[in-house]
Amino acid sequence: MTRHRKLVLPALTTAILLIATGCTSDDDTANEPPNELVLMTHDSFALSEGTLEQFTEDTGIAVTVLKSGDAGTMLSQAILTKDNPIADVIFGVDNTFLSRALAEGVFAEHESSSLADVHAGLIADPRVTPIDFGDVCVNYDRAAFTDSPPPASLLDLTKPEYRNMLVVQDPASSSPGLAFLLATIGTFGDDGEYTWRDYWEDLSQNGVLVASGWTEAYQGAFTAGGGGGDRPIVVSYASSPAVGVYFTDPPPREAPTASLLEGCFRQVEYAGVVAGTGHEDAAGLLVDHLLSVPVQEDIPLNMFVYPANAQAEIPEVFTSFSPVPGSPVELPVDTIEQNRERWIDEWTDILR
Amino acid sequence: MLQCVQISVSFGGTPALDAVDLTVHDGEIVAVMGPSGCGKTTLLRVVAGLQGPDAGTIAWDGKALGDTPPHARGFGLMFQDYALFPHLDVKGNVEFGLRMRGMSAEDRIDRVDDMLQTVGLDGYAERKINELSGGEQQRVALARTLAPSPRLVLLDEPIGALDRTLREHLIAEMRDVFARLGVTALYVTHDRDEAFAIADTVAVMNHGLVVRKGTPEEIWRDPENEYVASLLGFDTIVAVEARAGWLDLGWARMAGDLPAGISRVAVPPHAVLVGDEGPIEGKVLSVTYHAGRYDIAISVGSLVIEAVSSHRHTVGDTVRFEIDGTQLLPIEDAHG
Amino acid sequence: MDRRVDRHPPLTASRLGGFAVMAVPLLFLGYFFVYPLLTVLATGFTTDGALDFGPLQTIFKRSALVNVAWFTLWQAVASTVLTLLIALPAANVMARYDFPGKRFVRAAIVVPFVLPTVVVGSAFLAVLGPTGPLRVDLRQTVWAILIAHVFFNYAIVVRTVGTYWERIDPQLLEAAQMLGGNRLAVFRKVTYPLLRPAIASAASLVFLFTFTSFGIILILGGLRHATIEVEIWRQATGLVNFEVAAALAFLQIVGISTILVLYSRYQERRAVQFTPRPAADAIRPATPLQRWHVISNLTVMAILLGGPLLILVERSFRSESGYSLAAYSSLGEPIGGLAVAPTAAMLNSVRFAVAATVLAVGIGLAAATVIAYRRGWIGRGFDALLMLPLGTSAVTLGFGFLLALDQPIDLRTSIWLIPVAHALVAMPFVVRTSVPVLRSVKHHLREAAATLGATPQQVWREVDLPMVTRAALIGAGFAFAVSLGEFGATSFLALPTNPTLPTAIFRLLGRPGTSSFTYAMALSTILMIGTAAAVIAIERLRTDTVGDF
């Protein structure tokens, strides 16, 4: 898709152009280190104070963080500005949209120095570096299942015992929603006797509630969320029980929620050097910094996901309350890219 | 001196002013009189610069005003609805024009006091506009208009919204104020009494044309045409034949003389002498008591004659009267 | 007076509404609205360097998308009518009656306006859910959407119409009643024709807001109810399908423009000039009927607006062990993962809101003047253009900024885009509250000023400005609220991290843990109180000494 800006340049901009001539700033070359790097990321990005400052101390390069909405919005922005990038590094594109970003040519190749330390199976493409991963799993309110057993598998959720209990997110507007849809597709398959479509028909029959996003589902409809909803089962992250404990004052001894470790989908978040930034070398250093052990160890309690670097130590609250699912559902990024829109459309038709 | 030369304005093809010529000399008060829709307000707006003429020239002392905007003309305009600023008090209204001319605050206070005194509103400076009576508002508007000493004052029915007694009172006051301040004014009204009371010169308008111009006395004596005669309240127009010192109305004869070529006259009420005796007989159609006198309408055949009498009459009475031939007003034949 | 004269614009008016006054709003809108919009549409309709209108056909072929367009229209009409029906009696109460706490009520009704939809949405879910006080599950129904729309837009009608209503002389109505009209007849024959411009103004704002409703639909509407706005967002950010998104954006803009042009034609024809009176003498309700009128409307406000808001406040005090002030005691400390303290976020919010309000009022008043002075297609076109940002999807505009504003100065990631984007959305409020007032100012007043020696600029400053101040401040209050509540395109920009209060709230709501939630509710409560205080303060800014206009 090429932009045809010149077609629509109205007369007034020429006027402004005339006023503001002399303000053109040509970018430095790749070899010359810039004074500043721009890191574009989504709204959930967070690190403790001092983590990015360390990079500035080490290299003399300041880092400006641009927050650009949710992960989908960020990807759209990256694609729309790829001819004249607004950032040098992008962090936060995950495996559900990675192929699209790669196909659009958003990223330039970069091999990180600590790539060898990354958990097996996370590396997807030489243009992007895995930074963290999180598993989207079914969570439940333990208080609601003191007398009866909680669900043990995805299929359990279609049973009458769990009628009107589950709340999920719309995959067209929510990242965990899409991940959960992919988990069901990976589990039940796209064709065969009982496909993911049959599964969702059954969920629908069993009174599944669809919320627009994570906050609406967890804080609005989930019984253990803040809003006091009426649904004891919710799609969230494997780390949610731990984070819930961490952000409850005083912290309870037992987590009030738990994750169902079967049928989880692993979201891997990548960082990459933006193609055409002009500061490829420096940008590469910033990507490496994100994968360095101090930053990686800072990630869990700020972004509630697991570090990609195996050398990083995991906080205790994570290890005690949120075990990592053993065998998450996996789908190749290309398969996701080729089918995503069709799957979402089909899902929407079933649930609408 | 204001000169309007061949001013024409039309709205959507309908002419509102049709080649109007009008002059106002320094110190002169000219009243433009006519019914609503005759174009008199439009003329005022054109002079003020609020409305561009389609054709013609407005000039002051021989200099064409052309595109000079209203604020730079040095004219004052007083509206029928006064257009007082509701967000300002009396003082704020009166000093507005002074402020716009950059007069210092101290001088303004003096001038406002002067003006309020002139219009008889001493001590009203701090009053709010919406607390004033209609007459008081009129005076404030007058003070506001006159405060900056405009070289020409334009007045658009300035007392038209007030009741009769107040009007009579105010018109005398205004006349007095204008004379004292040597004001040059163009005064628009539909009211004959008002125009005659205030003006040095009266211009009568009809359908965008000035149809009669003169001093009040001249016009009173000689309205010239039926339209002006009816504006003056002389609605009885009759055919006449002049024969060697006698005037023959067909139903009455009297001594009198007329200019050549006149075949119609207006019979003003003051020409009708009602008495016990009289050559003409008629029937009383209506009687209106009017401050010490009776206005009566008398039918003579198919005609209705208006008269004034000091006696009381009853509707249906037969009255006798005569007509003073020297008081009949010649009416020129309408052109076209 | 010569009736025909009015149709001829006086010279002062055309001089003032001339190029100089038009240039500022035109340049602003041109560069920050029209240009980005055209750029984003051109991008969406370009395939491999050639213009391609295929996506438009796609829309009409997909029945789901046609349904979306239809739903968008009818729910907006229904919401507008419902809001008018519920809010007009309250506008009368606010205009005519005096009661204890009136100033507070007038400010407090704006609060719903600023709260992030996510926050209000959760309160509504609580009220309208099966565990709420109503005991009926209205979630994902049209009713939930309509009720929430009334909640959000109530203040627009009450305040814009109320301000205008105050200025109609009650004597006029009494006179009409003396002439034998019953109350209904008086309203129909006298009050309504005079109020019509203000009602149309308010209705147009409500319509635009609900036509482009986003958060409410998303949270309360479920999958079955989507507006064009929601669908654009889903296509652009959820599916990264720019072609369909651009086609929908095009459809949205064409629809809105048509409606706006029709509206401004109507509005201009209906403008009535009358002598305004100072808006001071509201009366205490005296008769039982008047008391009932005031009390019933205040009750509606308390239930409709107060209910959901109180739920938020109540939740901010919750803790594991009953109620506590825990969430409020740590406001000065940084929130985990946000890197700044809420107090700093608050300061950011206020800074942006002040900048946006100044921009919106300055440019909005210039624009309102042009619209009020200029009859005919220039005024009309201008009017429609100004309202358009309110009817344009935030995604479209946000992405438009990103695509278009890279030259001559790269503003794409400038922090200044925040007040600019807020001002675009806030300006219509200033314009809508000001235009009816400016139009109602008799030309005679301006002409009187001109003949007293005032230049066109002085006429504006001395006559129009004092008259319009009150209305403009009402608009400014909305502008401030709009900015505090982070409406519009800023959510779709990539901006340096300057967390505002709403972003802090989003952040807190985005993680599990009861403290996070309580904390978010506490910040929402503070946002509510701050808004009410700010609106009261702004409306006290009146400077004129005599009349209160």
Give the per-residue pLDDT at C257.
86
Residue B97 with chain C: CB contacts under 8 Å: 452-453
Q: Chain C residue closest to A7 (CA)?
A: C42
What is d(CA B43, CA B61) in angstroms, rounded to the nearest whole number?
18
State the pLDDT at residue B195. Answer: 92
Give the domains, in start order, of chain A with CATH numbers. 32-134+268-317 (3.40.190.10), 135-266+325-351 (3.40.190.10)
Q: Is residue C546 part of a domain?
A: no
CA distances from residue B328 to B217, B238, B271, B283, C279 in whole angstroms, order as listed: 15, 10, 6, 21, 59
- Tell me if B2-227 shares its fold with B237-331: no
Phi-psi region of A349 (alpha: psi -120 to 50; beta: other; left: phi over 0): alpha
CATH number at residue C248: 1.10.3720.10
Is the separation of the CB atoms in C317 and C324 below 8 Å? yes
Interface check C9 vs B, CB under 8 A:
no
Q: Do B83 and C448 touch (CB under 8 A)?
A: yes
A vs C contact (3+ beta-carbon pairs below 8 A): yes
Q: Write the residue in C218, C337, C497 that is nearest to A212 by C-beta.
A: C218
Minimum Cα–Cα distance from A25: chain C residue = C409
How would you write the pLDDT of chain A (352 residues) with one tens digit per residue? Answer: 333 433 333 443 444 443 443 333 444 444 567 889 999 998 888 888 888 999 999 999 999 999 888 888 899 999 989 889 999 999 999 998 898 899 999 999 999 988 899 998 898 889 999 999 999 999 999 999 999 999 999 999 999 999 999 999 999 888 899 999 999 999 999 998 999 999 999 999 999 999 888 988 998 889 988 877 889 999 999 999 998 888 887 788 888 999 999 999 999 999 999 999 889 999 999 999 999 999 999 999 888 899 999 999 999 888 888 888 888 998 888 899 899 889 998 998 898 8
Summarised one tens digit per residue, pLDDT across range B16-55 is: 899 999 999 999 999 999 988 888 999 999 999 988 899 9
CA–CA dist B292, B288 (Å, integer): 11
Q: What span, in angstroms and rounded, lies between the C-alpha atoms of A93 and A70?
A: 10
Report the chain A residue with the minimal C-alpha distance to residue C128.
A229
Which chains lie within 8 Å of chain A at 3 or more CB pairs, if any? C
Q: Can you say whether residue A135 is alpha, beta or left, with left for phi > 0 and alpha for psi between -120 and 50 degrees?
A: beta
The closest alpha carbon to C79, from C173, C195, C204, C264, belongs to C204
**Cβ <8 Å between C46 and A9:** no
Instruction: Tell me which residue has tokens 């985990």.
Output: C336
Q: Is the dihedral of CA B282, B283, B288, B290 positive or negative?
A: positive
Q: Does A1 touch chain C (CB under 8 A)?
A: yes
Residue in C7, C11, C448 closest to B49 by CB = C11
Q: Does B80 touch chain C (CB under 8 A)?
A: yes
Phi, psi of B248 (to 5 degrees): -115, 115
Chain C, 455 to 474: residues with Cβ < 8 Å from chain B are 455-456, 458-459, 462-463, 466-467
Where would I find the H helices in A22-70? 51-59
The answer, for B69 touching chain C at a CB cutoff of 8 Å, is yes
**Measured CA distances, A335 to A96, A98, A267, B61, C455 (Å):** 10, 11, 15, 92, 71
What is the structure's pLDDT at C336?
60
C397 with C421: CB under 8 angstroms? yes
What is the DSSP secondary-structure string of C46-80? EETTEE--HHHHHHHH-HHHHHHHHHHHHHHHHHH
Q: Which of B41, B83, B145 sits opposite C2 (nearest CB)?
A: B41
Distance (Å) from the alpha carbon of B139 to chain C's nearest alpha carbon: 15
Domain spans of chain B, in order of start: 2-227, 237-331
What angle is formed at CA A220 by the lines to CA A214 and CA A223, rounded to 5 degrees?
105
CATH code at B2-227: 3.40.50.300
By three-state DSSP, how is residue A222 classified? strand
Residue of A nearest to C406 (CA): A84
Which residues 122-151 of A are in CB contact (within 8 Å) with C? none
**Which residues sit opposite B247 in a β-bridge?**
B242, B254
What's at B19, amino acid-wise?
A
- Tally of domains within chain C: 1
Rounded to the nearest 10 degrees, the angle between the axes of helix C307-316 and helix C117-128 is: 100
Residue C549 lies in a domain: no
What count of other Cβ atoms lies within 10 Å of the Cβ of residue B237? Answer: 16
Higher pLDDT, C544 or B335: B335
Please tell me which chains touch B, using 3 or more CB pairs under 8 Å as the contact test.
Answer: C
**Cβ separation A77–C402 shorter than 8 A:** yes
Whether C457 is in a domain gets the answer yes
The C-alpha atoms of residue C370 and residue C364 are separated, in whole angstroms, by 10
B174-201 average pLDDT score: 92
Confidence at residue A69, expressed as pLDDT on a 0 to 100 scale: 82
Q: Give the sign of the dihedral formed by CA C400, CA C69, CA C239, CA C123.
A: positive
Distance from CA of A154 to the nearest CA of C (A): 22
Single out the residue of B181, B214, B211, B209 nearest to residue B199, CA to CA.
B214
Contacts of B16 (CB under 8 A, 6+ apart): B9, B10, B39, B42, B208, C2, C4
Spatial neighbors of C367 by CB under 8 A, at least 6 apart, are C25, C382, C386, C427, C431
Cβ distance C125 to A38 less than 8 Å, yes or no, reads no
pLDDT per residue rounded down to tens, chain C (549 residues):
333 333 334 444 445 545 667 788 889 999 999 999 998 888 888 777 677 777 777 777 777 788 888 999 999 999 999 999 999 999 989 888 888 888 888 888 888 877 777 778 777 877 777 666 777 777 778 888 999 999 989 988 998 888 888 877 776 666 666 666 677 777 777 778 888 888 888 898 899 889 988 888 888 887 888 889 888 888 888 888 888 888 888 888 888 888 888 777 776 666 666 655 655 567 788 888 888 999 999 999 998 888 888 888 888 888 767 787 877 877 766 666 566 677 888 888 899 999 999 999 999 999 888 888 776 777 778 888 888 888 888 888 888 898 888 877 888 888 888 899 999 988 988 888 888 788 888 888 989 999 999 988 888 889 888 888 888 888 888 888 888 887 666 778 878 877 788 888 887 888 888 778 888 888 888 888 888 888 888 777 654 433 333
Q: Do chain C and B touch: 3 or more Cβ pairs under 8 angstroms?
A: yes
Contact C423, C462 (CB under 8 A): no
Question: Which of B199, B161, B166, B165 is closest to B33 using CA atoms?
Answer: B199
Best mutation target, C33, C131, C134, C223, to test chain A (most A CBs within 10 A): C223
Interface of C with A in 22-41 (CB under 8 A): 26-27, 30-31, 34-35, 38-39
Nearest to C5 among B42, B49, B86 (CB): B42
Q: Say whether C252 sits in a helix, a strand or coil.
A: helix
C95 within domain boundaries: yes
Q: Which domain holds residue C279?
A: 3-35+47-321+331-539
Check CB contact under 8 Å for A13 and C27: no
Q: What pLDDT score was predicted for residue C275?
A: 58
Three-state DSSP at A211 gives: strand
> From the CA of A134, how many Å to the nearest CA of chain C?
14
- Chain C neighbors of A2, CB-CB under 8 A: 46, 48-49
3-state secondary structure string across chain B: CEEEEEEEEEECCEEEEEEEEEEECCCCEEEEECCCCCCHHHHHHHHHCCCCCCEEEEEECCEECCCCCHHHCCEEEECCCCCCCCCCEHHHHHCHHHHHCCCCHHHHHHHHHHHHHHCCCCCCCCCEHHHCCHHHHHHHHHHHHHCCCCCEEEEECCCCCCCHHHHHHHHHHHHHHHHHHCCCEEEEECCHHHHHHHCCEEEEEECCEEEEEECHHHHHHCCECHHHHHHCCCCCEEECEEECCEEECCCCEEECCCCCCCCEEECCHHHEEEECCCCEEEEEEEEEEECCEEEEEEEECCEEEEEEECCCCCCCCEEEEEECHHHCEEECCCCC
Residue in C with minimal Cα distance to B157: C1
Using the structure block, give the residue that is written with the tokens 């080729």: A338
Mean pLDDT, residues B318-331 taken together: 88
Per residue in B96-146, pLDDT (tens digit) is 999 999 999 999 999 999 999 989 999 999 999 988 998 999 999 999 999
Is residue A20 less than 8 Å (CB to CB) from chain C? yes
A64 touches chain C (CB under 8 A): yes
**Calpha distance B74→B60 (Å, rounded):** 10
Whether A contacts B, i.e. 3 or more CB pairs less than 8 A apart, is no
Q: Do C506 and A226 touch (CB under 8 A)?
A: no
From the list C495, C506, C516, the residue facing A66 with the nearest CB is: C495
Residue C14 lies in a domain: yes
Asked whether A310 and A59 are in contact (CB, 8 A), the reply is no
Give the C-alpha separation, A129 to A93, whole Å. Answer: 10
Closest CA–CA distance from residue C262 to any residue of chain A (Å): 26
Give me the pLDDT at residue C335, please: 63
Q: Which residue of C has its CA nearest to B78?
A: C448
In a domain, C326, yes or no: no
* Among the listed residues B255, B235, B199, B208, the one whose alpha carbon sits nearest the alpha carbon of residue B331: B235
Q: Determine the residue of chain A that is closest to C218 in CA distance.
A: A212
Q: Residue A301: its chain C contacts at CB < 8 A? A: 336-337
Find chains touching chain C: ≥3 CB pairs under 8 Å: A, B
Residues of C in contact with A76 (CB under 8 A): 236-237, 240, 242, 399
- Which of C1, C449, C544 is the closest to B41 by Cβ? C1
Nearest CA in chain A to C117: A216
The verdict on a CB contact (< 8 Å) between B75 and C451 is: yes
Average pLDDT, chain B: 89
Helices (H) and strands (E) counted in chain A, each on its own, are 12, 10
Q: Which of B87, B144, B152 to mutate to test the interface with C (most CBs of C within 10 A)?
A: B87
Which of A219, A254, A340, A345 is the best substitution to test chain C (most C C-beta atoms within 10 A)? A219
d(CA B319, CA A303): 113
Beta-carbon separation of C219 and A66 below 8 A: no
End-to-end CA distance of chain B: 33
CB contact under 8 A, B79 and C278: no
Specify the fold of B237-331. OB fold (Dihydrolipoamide Acetyltransferase, E2P) (2.40.50)
Contact B128 C450 (CB under 8 A): no
Dihedral class, residue B256 (left if φ above 0, else alpha if ψ from -120 to 50, else beta): left
| Chain C, window 399-458: residues with a beta carbon less than 8 angstroms from a chain B beta carbon | 442, 444-445, 447-456, 458
The two three-digit tokens of residue B255, written as one number: 């001594």
Determine contact: B130 vs chain C, CB below 8 A: yes
**Whose structure tokens read 């005759």?**
B38
| pLDDT value at residue C544 | 41
Q: What is the DSSP letter of A145?
A: G
Handedness of CA A170, A173, A178, A180 (dihedral sign): negative
